[in-house]
Structure 1
């Protein structure tokens, strides 16, 4: 008989149809107005040949030969072992590394989204386990928004993510805003997701309401389709990585015409006079006027002037997308967008001003906050050491090196054991050939994985884990006002276990099982976290656990804040409602950042020329700018082996979008397999021709599982289309040390050779013990 069970994922909530224990299909919920197509495609991956079915150990590591040619990480065969043997190997290696090298030699950054669920949160489980075992070196910030996370507390104060509760919500934009100017666009594909889970997608309909209310939209992006067609947006194609120059040109036009909001700048900001001196060229002899900006950005001088006029004469909102800060000097467009909004006159007025990340997740701009929901209790980490998240390869290759970070000097630790679960560094990180070299350095790499993806193939010990369909939990997404039950849909594949089960077994072997599990079973933990939530919110706010589990969804009471740092309050009375900055106001000039003395991040926003962009000397050899944006068919690399992602491939390879004129000059036709390349490497991809991209730009989404032809050979061709063989492992600046993936030049050519088979989804060679 068929059963229908609730499924919650980062890309929405669904109904799983199960027949005699077999997953038949996954259907959208009837009340989701814009369900993601990723969900139904999960069925394809549930039992595919890439599943890790038993614990496996790399043969060279097991034989004590980690550096033998042909037996390196990524190229070696694996030996399947029993769970008891695997637990012994991991626990003994943790003891050895801690005893010989100290607790900071264990890296537990384990960055990644993992899967939805309050209890089965892979990173939380790992960090709890490692902290109880003595501690670990952690990572700080995210690949998505590292530059933003570091710069915004200096400029507007507060927690790095507090801006999301301080900017206008979509319903306020509907009611009050007249003009939205979106730097980096508003791609709806990104709003499929919400960290932690999602009951219903709302962003699409809220955007439609904006358009119906007469809100105008301007899309400043190299890609026309970064804004939905129904918004009828004006497209101003901008040279990639030049958003700051465009903003400076608009700001200069406002200033010299007297259109700027002098009252707000005087009362609610600090340092505008010093920034204005730079703007008009007093400091360097270069006025940052519309003509100057036009020469850099490719946007016409008249268009820049007109945009400045419209921004200051209407209730306007400046939106900046996360993509613009994943680039050289990525702090600058974030900082400058705040300054531009402060000048334009709508900052702190209903529906206007400034905001970031709209449409990058469904919750952004939908609700200011979510009521309290309990999660796995944290254990303080006894090790104070950390690294900026995108500096993992630097740390492995250069232990002991001292780097700058947000005014501090950090010594990169020597990492001897990497423990990774719930993430995929061979998706997130840039310059994968460099990462692969760095990945050979530590003594041991332990990975929890459900599939034989690249990270699993580059590990020493791979422990098979259950997926979100194979365990009990409940979901609560960021700012989403719902809890969604997640009953187990199917039994775990092969000998898979949950992350918690694995860590409990290791904790038992290492002598702290009771502290780790608190003597609760997994379903007891799920019930406990739910009841903790219910007790905190008041028992009348939520049904009891059994009723919730039976009904699959519960609505949380609305969150009433407080939301500190309101720009509305700042405008009304900056003395009574100061921001959490040194001045209590918006810091257009930051004395603190200026005191750091960085040559790549000054005391006010500036234009810094990127290392790689279309005006660089390197463009003579590599004349196309690569946009490695988020995919529409999966979440990062998750479910690249799912039906929806597989269906988007071109002859089994990731699609690369090319402007038709660039394709014609290279003899490339739609559907051809091409090689995308630069000095860092090359990959094969399937050509898709479109004039939605400005000439000189190619777009290859992240997340295709890296599939090197010769895994042990640096620079080898990727068969599948992962753009991070092409991107530079170079920090944004000394301030944030964030990734600069979107500063990359490439070229594209027809691939004339024999096409190699795509092996991204094939398991490695499994051999008996020697």
Structure 2
């Protein structure tokens, strides 16, 4: 993604398509970008790295720059690489250079929370004096559970997650979950694979059994969801369990005595960006689209007040090409989304499909490895291996393998492991993000 964006930026500059007036007024670091990066990052170099032909790249760059209001919807997948942060930063440079932000409907929409109307301040209680927190990224769960010289983890409380399936480096994670001296509690609505490793399984409420507030995700609407029925059986919400644990641990802070509804009231009423009328509507259960201030797209919340292509305070001050991690293997593995599930959520549903987990491979690649359409194959790297049936697909780029969905173990093509046995716990270049797509594998016909 970085290579393609830099190639496009080179073309936009070279062909006089940049909006210089907008850049002078609203962008910091364009000259540095041109002189230090773009002049040497030719379309030919970009094409070699990203696989898009020079002709298509030029066509795309011109179409984008000449559009009346160019708009980019930035997804999350391209951030799941070792250079994920740089991918996002570089793509964000495109609307800046062509001045897209000044046009109605133009710009870029991501899932970042910079434009949030309600935040986490009420729940995080940052003003409370507490011991220094340990940095324990979820992607490092396997290492934390198995590394005797690292951070000691004696107990594990799992909620809203299924790490036995969704965490990277699955073999190491499951080895850690098997520790006899690890006390594990799983708070869940369904009996997931992680429940099999638990000492105690607690039943959780569904969204119709507790009060909650729902922030926007790719839009500007906020709403509450108040419970419709009492919790079934002994089910409890996340907050109810946390509050009860705090009481039993002797934490006397008044914060833990609040109900979910009271906390929702605080979250909404303390937001300085929501009008009182809208606050009342939200608390009444109405979904409310936020009112955006005039000219909000040109109000950049940076120290300079501009879009900072050059940020002197960042560890990488200027956007540039950074390579992904990769592995010592010939095929990139893309673990895409299956529209029937979300990560491993909804896997509890019964599907009218006897083969949920399958592999797609370009026929030309398959023939090199003597793989017939529908053959069972083994894909593997230094972290593990998965048996899966491979099917020809002309749409899959050569050198790439594609599988969709993160399925529960009972639905996996391999009786012993899931697809995340192949992924790594390596972090992104910034922010401790996951790198689920930055994985390469070998392939061979499976032994009978």
TM-score bracket for this pair, using the shorter chain length:
0.7 to 0.9
**d(CA) in 2 for partners of 1:269 and 1:726?**
41
| Residue 346 to residue 470, structure 1, CA distance change in 2 (3 Å) | closer
User: Alpha-carbon deviation of 1:323?
Assistant: 0.6
1:353 is the counterpart of 2:107: yes
* 8 A contact 1:337–1:354 mirrored in 2: no
Residue matched to 2:301: 580
1:425-457 Cα offsets, whole Å, 9 max, x none, are 233321112333444677433322344423222
Out of 361, 364, 385, the position equivalent to 2:133 is: 385
Is 1:337 aligned to residue 91 of structure 2?
A: yes
Equivalent residues in 2 for 1:656-695 (5 A)? 656-668=359-371, 671-695=374-398
User: What's the offset of the Cα at 1:379?
Assistant: 4.6
Give matches, 1:192-271, under 5 Å: 243-271=1-29
Give the TM-score taking structure 1 as reference length.
0.50
The answer to whether the 8 Å contact 1:507/1:516 transfers is no
Match of 2:323 in 1: 609
CA positional deviation for 1:681: 0.8
Flag the 1:450–1:583 CA change in 2: closer, same or farther, 3 A. Answer: same
Residue 517 to residue 352, structure 1, CA distance change in 2 (3 Å): closer
Provide the secondary structure at the position in 2 that maps to 1:457: helix
> Which residue does the alignment assign to 2:408?
705
Alpha-carbon distance between aligned partners in 1 of 2:282 and 2:31, rounded to the nearest angstrom: 58
Report the 3-state secondary structure (helix = DSSP H, G, I; strand = E; otherwise coil) of the residue aligned with 2:333: strand
2:343 corresponding residue in structure 1: 636
Cα distance in structure 2, aligned partners of 1:607 and 1:455? 38
SS of alignment partner, residue 338 of structure 1: helix
Pair 264,423 (structure 1): closer, same or farther in 2 beyond 3 Å: same
2:36 aligned residue (256, 275, 278):
278
Match of 2:78 in 1: 324
1:433 equivalenced with 2:138 (yes/no): no
How far apart are 1:344 and its partner, in Å?
A: 2.2
Q: Aligned match of 2:197 in 458, 479, 487?
A: 458
TM score, norm. by length of structure 2: 0.81
Note the 1:89-104 alignment, pairs <5 A. none
1:511 & 1:325 partners in 2: Cα distance? 41
Q: Which ranges in structure 1 are unaligned for 5 or more consecutive residues? A: 1-242, 282-286, 359-363, 402-412, 549-553, 570-578, 597-601, 710-716, 754-770
Give the distance between the partners of 1:590 and 1:300, measured in 2 at CA: 31
Match of 1:170 in 2: none
CA contact (8 A) 1:674 1:751 kept: yes
Match of 2:229 in 1: 488
Task: Describe the shift of the 1:584–1:483 C-alpha distance in structure 2 as closer, same or farther (beyond 3 A).
Answer: closer
Select the residue among 57, 60, 65 that pairs with 1:307. 60
Cα distance change on mapping 1:467 and 1:588 into 2, 3 Å:
same
> Counterpart of 1:628 in 2: which secondary structure?
strand
SS at match of 2:303: coil
Q: What's 1:233 paired with? A: none
- Equivalent residue for 2:420, pick from 706, 719, 724: 724
CA distance in 1, matches of 2:304, 2:375: 57
CA separation in 1, counterparts of 2:238 and 2:447? Answer: 45
**Aligned-residue offset at 1:665:** 4.4
SS of 2:77 mapped into structure 1: helix
Q: Equivalences for 1:121-132 in 2 at 5 Å? A: none
Q: Which residue of 2 aligns with 1:744?
A: 439
Q: CA offset at residue 331 of structure 1?
A: 1.4
Query: Structure 1 729/568 Cα, relative in aligned 2: closer, same or farther at 3 Å?
Result: same
Residue in structure 2 matched with residue 417 of structure 1 by the alignment: 155
Q: CA deviation at 1:414?
A: 3.5
State which of 41, 50, 56 in structure 2 corresponds to 1:288: 41
Q: Does residue 298 of structure 1 match 2:39?
A: no
Instruction: Provide structure 2 residue ranges, at least 5 long, that are not aligned to the other structure.
Output: none
RMSD over aligned Cα, in angstroms?
Answer: 3.9
For residues 473-512 of structure 1, the aligned pairs below 5 Å read 473=211, 476-478=214-216, 479-488=220-229, 491-492=232-233, 496-500=235-239, 502-503=241-242, 506-507=245-246, 509-511=248-250
User: Structure 1 residues 438, 695: CA separation in 2 closer, same or farther (over 3 Å shift)?
Assistant: same
**Helix, strand or coil at the partner of 1:415:** coil
Looking at structure 1, the residues matched to 344 and 159 of structure 2 have their Cα atoms a distance apart, in angstroms, of: 14
- Secondary structure at the counterpart of residue 448 of structure 1: strand
Q: Tell me how far apart the structure 1 counterparts of residues 375 and 307 of structure 2 sit (CA, whole Å).
A: 51
1:555 pairs with one of 286, 299, 312: 286
Question: 1:298 deviation in Å?
Answer: 1.5
Alignment of 1:87-236 (within 5 A): none
Give a deviation string over 1:613-641, Cα, whole Å, max 9, x none.
7xxxx3xxx32211123331112111212
The 5 Å alignment of 1:366-377 reads: none
Shift of 1:398: 5.3
2:328 aligned with 1:625 = no
Partner Cα separation in structure 2 for residue 544 and residue 607 of structure 1: 44
C-alpha distance after superposition, 1:684-733 (max 9, x if no partner): 33444433322222222342124799xxxxxxx94276321111221222
Q: Deviations over 1:737-763 (max 9, x none)?
A: 32222111113344343xxxxxxxxxx
* Contact persistence 1:326–1:741 (CA under 8 A): yes
1:162-207 Cα offsets, whole Å, 9 max, x none, are xxxxxxxxxxxxxxxxxxxxxxxxxxxxxxxxxxxxxxxxxxxxxx
Structure 1 residues 484 and 743: alpha-carbon distance in aligned structure 2, compared to 1, 3 A threshold: same
Instruction: List per-residue Cα deviations over 1:572-615 (Å, max 9, x = no partner).
Output: xxxxxxx332322222122112xx4xxxxx321111232317xx
Q: Tell me how far 1:567 sits from its aligned partner.
A: 3.4
Report deviation, 1:664.
4.5
SS state at 2:45 partner: helix
CA distance in 1, matches of 2:94, 2:120: 39
Q: Is the 8 A contact 1:426 1:706 kept in 2?
A: no
Matched-pair contact (CA < 8 Å) for 2:210–2:237: no
